[in-house]
């Protein structure tokens, strides 16, 4: 089998974790599989790179940050490959070069004070460029030939910095050209997650948490047999285990369930991960690098059709409900069209839409970062309607979305009733509701402080913990 395996931040977060990740990759290779590794940055590194970039753009560049990053990665090199002076020296050299580049970028930024999305990508992508040589050397230390590969040589994207999209045809030919010979040689390539490059070679990133997406893009480009996401929990669970302690691992879910869950806040998978794998029907597994004997979750076409009803509950915090309302909106055509044109022009991503049947209110949910721009643009595009009193208000309110997801909610009566009874019993007010026509998701807007209780109430009502 050709397996693309991705290790998340906690799975490469220390010397011990990197040794374990290297062991898992080497074991699969020893079983006769072709293995491509995709690595995240060590846990918290991307956050500190972004913080450093922001500080630098405010004129404060603190060289101690470079030293801290060097020390943390060098400590891993000492522990994991200290016994091999040649390899150790080569890794330290790679770390220094990559941190020199980071330092120069930050220093430049502290002079020009302008943090563009392009520059932020160039800086925030450094973390993966530090782990790839380390993890590759750790695999070699386990006796399996390996080489680090920068994904800038594999994945070609658009220039939407901070959330670039792969151009699959070009990515396919570049990835195959670069990796096939390495694999044929029995080597394990260790690819930087998260980063990619435009056609002109300018570094881009796929968005926060995007290393999962890198793995499925590379899996699709290589026609891999499976994509494995190694993380710090036993798979995709019925709810976020840090919020719902009784959450259980789901043995099997469908591509559509996985996409819905990821889209509605299950951080365990980046929300774009499923699509490239789904297009080619490549099975995806979510596995625990801290508990590798656990079979984890398998994402497949069928999912587990024996499980009816709601399979899992998720939430997205920190989002904004934009509501356009007014009794005069009734019967005035085109307000919704105008509003959604504005949102599209702002390139904002709508997470959920709901319109009351009275037509007095159209509301939708977008991310907090996008809200100010969208609201300003709406007020200007709908100025006439506001002046004439057809629209009374364009409001923006911080909220959370809670979603109940399951393929077989479709055709199972009484699900909505159970959801709303559960919330009602807890005294949780539902601000807006939406159920897609696919019927595999009911989402509700609630006040942010109610989100955790809402997730727990729905989880309990469907007995998902037992
Ligand atoms: P990685 O660093 O491996 O990419 P992430 O932190 O991005 O890991 O994702 C794993 C985390 O996702 C888990 O530790 C858990 O807290 C969170 N999570 C949220 N919802 C779910 C869910 N439904 N199932 C499993 N984990 C979830
Ligand atoms: N290191 C990146 C991040 O923290 C990508 C990832 O870990 O998936 O967002
Ligand atoms: Mg992640």
Q: Which ligand is nearest to the CA of 231?
A: 1
Task: Find the 254 Cα to ligand 3 centroid distance in Å.
Answer: 19
- With contact defined as beta carbons under 8 Å apart, do 266 and 312 qualify? yes
At residue 27, the pLDDT reads 98
| pLDDT for the residue numbered 466 | 85
pLDDT at 456: 97
CATH fold of 312-461, please?
A: VC0802-like (3.30.2130)
DSSP H/E element including 41: none
Domain ranges of the chain: 2-232, 312-461
Candidate from 233, 244, 246 with most ligand 1 atoms within 8 A of CB, to mutate: 233
Q: What pLDDT does residue 129 have? A: 98
Query: Whose Cα sits closest to atom 2 in ligand 2?
Result: 209
Which atom of ligand 2 lies closest to the CA of 127?
1
Per-residue pLDDT of the chain (466 residues; tens, 9 = 90+): 999 999 999 999 999 999 999 999 999 999 999 999 999 999 999 999 999 999 999 999 999 999 999 999 999 999 999 899 999 999 999 999 999 999 999 999 999 999 999 999 999 999 999 999 999 999 999 999 999 999 999 999 999 999 999 999 999 999 999 999 999 999 999 999 999 999 999 999 999 999 999 999 999 999 999 999 999 999 999 999 999 999 999 999 999 999 999 999 999 999 999 999 999 999 999 999 999 999 999 999 988 878 788 999 999 999 999 999 988 787 777 888 889 999 999 989 899 988 766 668 889 999 999 999 999 999 999 999 999 888 999 999 999 999 999 988 887 888 989 999 999 999 999 999 988 667 789 999 999 999 999 999 999 999 999 8
Residue with tokens 């629209």, as numbered in its chain: 391
Mapped onto helix, strand or coil, the DSSP state of residue 434 is: strand
CATH 3.40.1160.10 at 2-232, yes or no: yes
Helix 15-30 vs helix 64-81: angle between axes, to the nearest 10 degrees?
50
> Which of 283-310 are b and which e, b meaning 16 or more Cβ less than 10 Å from the residue's Cβ?
bbbbbbbeeeeeebbbbbeebbeebebb
Task: Report the pocket of ligand 1 as residue ranges, CB < 6 Å.
Answer: 8-11, 40, 209, 231-233, 236-237, 239-242, 266-268, 312
Whole-prediction pTM: 0.94
Report the pocket of ligand 2 as residue ranges, CB < 6 Å: 8-9, 40-41, 46, 127, 193-194, 208-211
What ligand is nearest to the CA atom of residue 11? 1
CA-closest candidate to residue 32, choices 186, 176, 179: 186
The pLDDT of residue 138: 98
**3-state secondary structure string, 290-355?**
CCCCCCCEEEECCCCCCCCCCCEEEEEEEEEEEEEECHHHCCCCCHHHHHHHHHHHCCCCCCEEEE
């Amino acid at each position: 089998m050709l397996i693309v395996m991705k290790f998340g931040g906690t799975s490469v977060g220390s010397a011990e974790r990197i040794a374990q990740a290297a062991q898992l990759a080497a074991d699969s290779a020893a079983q006769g599989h072709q293995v491509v590794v995709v690595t995240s940055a060590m846990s918290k590194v991307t956050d500190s790179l972004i913080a450093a970039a922001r500080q630098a753009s405010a004129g404060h560049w603190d060289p101690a940050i470079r030293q801290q990053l060097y020390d943390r990665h060098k400590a891993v090199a000492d522990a994991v490959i200290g016994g091999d002076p040649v390899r150790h020296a080569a890794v330290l050299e790679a770390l220094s070069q990559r941190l020199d580049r980071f330092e120069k970028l930050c220093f430049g930024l502290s002079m020009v004070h302008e943090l563009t999305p392009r520059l932020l990508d160039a800086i925030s992508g450094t973390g993966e460029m530090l782990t790839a040589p380390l993890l590759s050397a750790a695999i070699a230390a386990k006796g399996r030939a390996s080489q680090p590969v920068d994904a800038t040589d594999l994945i070609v994207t658009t220039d939407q910095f901070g959330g670039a999209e792969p151009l699959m045809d070009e990515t396919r030919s570049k990835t195959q050209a670069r990796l096939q010979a390495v694999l044929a040689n029995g080597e394990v390539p260790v690819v930087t997650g998260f980063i990619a490059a435009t056609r002109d070679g300018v570094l881009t990133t796929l968005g926060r948490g995007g290393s999962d997406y890198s793995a499925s893009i590379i899996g699709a480009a290589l026609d891999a047999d499976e994509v494995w996401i190694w993380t710090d929990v036993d798979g995709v669970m019925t709810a976020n285990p840090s919020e719902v302690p009784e959450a259980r691992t789901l043995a099997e879910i469908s591509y559509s369930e996985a996409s819905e869950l990821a889209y509605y806040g299950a951080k365990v998978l980046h929300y774009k991960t499923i699509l490239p794998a789904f297009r080619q029907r490549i099975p995806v597994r979510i596995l625990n690098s801290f508990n590798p004997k656990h079979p984890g979750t398998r994402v497949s076409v069928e999912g587990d059709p024996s499980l009816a009803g709601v399979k899992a509950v998720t939430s997205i915090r920190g989002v904004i409900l934009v509501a356009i309302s007014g009794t005069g909106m009734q019967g005035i055509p085109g307000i919704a069209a105008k509003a959604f044109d504005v949102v599209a022009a702002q390139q904002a991503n709508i997470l959920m839409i709901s319109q009351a049947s009275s037509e007095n209110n159209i509301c939708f949910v977008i991310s907090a970062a996008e809200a100010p721009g969208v609201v300003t643009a709406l007020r200007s595009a709908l100025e006439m309607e506001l002046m004439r009193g057809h629209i009374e208000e364009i409001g923006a309110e911080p909220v959370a979305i809670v979603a109940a997801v399951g393929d077989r909610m479709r055709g199972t009566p009484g699900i909505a009733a159970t959801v709303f009874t559960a919330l009602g019993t807890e005294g949780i007010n539902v601000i807006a509701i939406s159920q897609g026509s696919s019927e595999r998701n009911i989402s509700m807007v609630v006040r942010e402080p109610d989100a955790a209780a809402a997730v727990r109430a729905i989880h309990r009502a469907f007995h998902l913990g037992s």
